[in-house]
């Protein structure tokens, strides 16, 4: 946000959470943001109409790359890179990888990439690569799709064919058996613990609210807090196997200290 502010002649713009009817608004202040400006932004946010009902405004205590919801879900991008590697090496269709998770997510992982936009996902990965870890470096498959102008739903093709202007019909009976749902939960829980460690928010209920509202899926703490010890082991093993050190459990997750930060 600081870079955006410095680049704009007018920095009093509002960025909505996609899709536009979503009721989530995350607010943060930069180094030069006054309390009056923050107060006005909050008041305006509450007054903005939403097709989903009353607005949910979440104020970050400290700026975070990707804010809350996008950072939590965005960390899965490291896992996506590994899945692409495996799919190419084993000649597994991306549809079968999505079939692995379609019963647990509103949309398959690669279908979601198409929906968001391949270029948008690529740029998010590059941003997180710069601000969080080199482990976010996008797989060359994203560059290939972008060079071919196959950007997903908006261009008619990405990982899937969108030429009929409707969401692809994933065959749930043909799964790859490769995507680990518990690992997806572990990755998001770990990133939520990092947000708590960094002082971006004071409790994990805020994080769960942001994710469940923004992405229409359960928050990482509601899914993973009861078996966090097993998830710690799973993350350690995956980080060692793949060399993605960013996914190693942070201190707060490893210790279970986040359990005392519910409110």
pLDDT, position 29? 80
Q: Where is 242: in which H helix or E strand?
A: helix 228-242
Q: Are residues 19 and 100 in the same domain?
A: no
Q: Are residues 155 and 225 in the same domain?
A: yes
| Phi, psi (rounded to 5 degrees) for 59 | -100, 120
Q: Are residues 53 and 76 in the same domain?
A: no
From residue 246, alpha-carbon distances to 7, 194, 197, 250 in Å are 30, 11, 15, 9
Q: Are residues 38 and 120 in the same domain?
A: no
Q: Are residues 53 and 28 in the same domain?
A: yes
Of 94-103, 149-158, 160-169, the least confident: 160-169
Q: Are residues 32 and 128 in the same domain?
A: no
The region that residue 139 occupies, defined by phi over 0 for left and psi between -120 and 50 for alpha, beta otherwise, is beta
192-211 per-position pLDDT tens digit? 999 999 999 999 999 999 99
Q: Are residues 244 and 155 in the same domain?
A: yes
Q: Are residues 46 and 73 in the same domain?
A: no
Q: What is the mean pLDDT of residues 140-151?
A: 98
Give dist(CA 34, CA 60) in Å, integer: 14
Q: Are residues 14 and 79 in the same domain?
A: no
Boundary of a domain, candidates 59, 77, 93: 59
Q: Are residues 92 and 217 in the same domain?
A: yes
Boundary of a domain, candidates 59, 76, 92: 59
Q: Are residues 125 and 39 in the same domain?
A: no
The beta strand positions in 115-194, using DSSP E, are none
- Range(s) of the domain holding residue 39: 2-59
pLDDT, position 260? 97
């Amino acid at each position: 946000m600081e870079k955006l502010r410095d680049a704009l002649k007018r920095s009093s713009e509002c960025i909505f959470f996609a899709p536009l009817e979503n009721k989530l608004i995350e607010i943060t202040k930069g180094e030069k943001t006054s309390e009056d400006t923050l107060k006005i932004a909050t008041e305006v946010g509450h007054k903005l109409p939403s097709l989903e009902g009353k607005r949910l405004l979440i104020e970050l205590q400290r700026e975070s790359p990707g804010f809350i919801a996008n950072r939590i879900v965005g960390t899965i991008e490291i896992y996506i890179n590994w899945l692409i590697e495996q799919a190419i090496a084993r000649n597994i269709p991306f549809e079968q990888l999505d079939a692995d998770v379609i019963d647990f997510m509103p949309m398959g992982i690669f279908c979601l990439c198409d929906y968001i936009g391949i270029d948008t996902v690529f740029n998010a990965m590059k941003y997180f690569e710069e601000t969080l870890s080199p482990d976010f470096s996008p797989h060359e498959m994203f560059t290939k799709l972008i060079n071919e102008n196959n950007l997903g739903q908006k261009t008619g093709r990405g990982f899937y064919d969108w030429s009929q202007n409707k969401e692809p019909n994933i065959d749930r009976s043909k799964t790859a058996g490769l995507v680990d749902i518990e690992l997806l939960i572990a990755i998001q829980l770990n990133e939520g613990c990092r947000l708590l460690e960094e002082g971006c928010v004071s409790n994990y209920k805020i994080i769960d609210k942001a994710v469940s509202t923004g992405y229409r899926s359960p928050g990482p703490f509601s899914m993973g807090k009861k078996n966090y010890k097993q998830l710690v082991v799973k993350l350690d093993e995956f980080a060692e196997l793949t060399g993605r050190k960013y996914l190693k459990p942070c201190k707060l997750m490893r210790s279970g200290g986040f359990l005392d930060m519910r409110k």
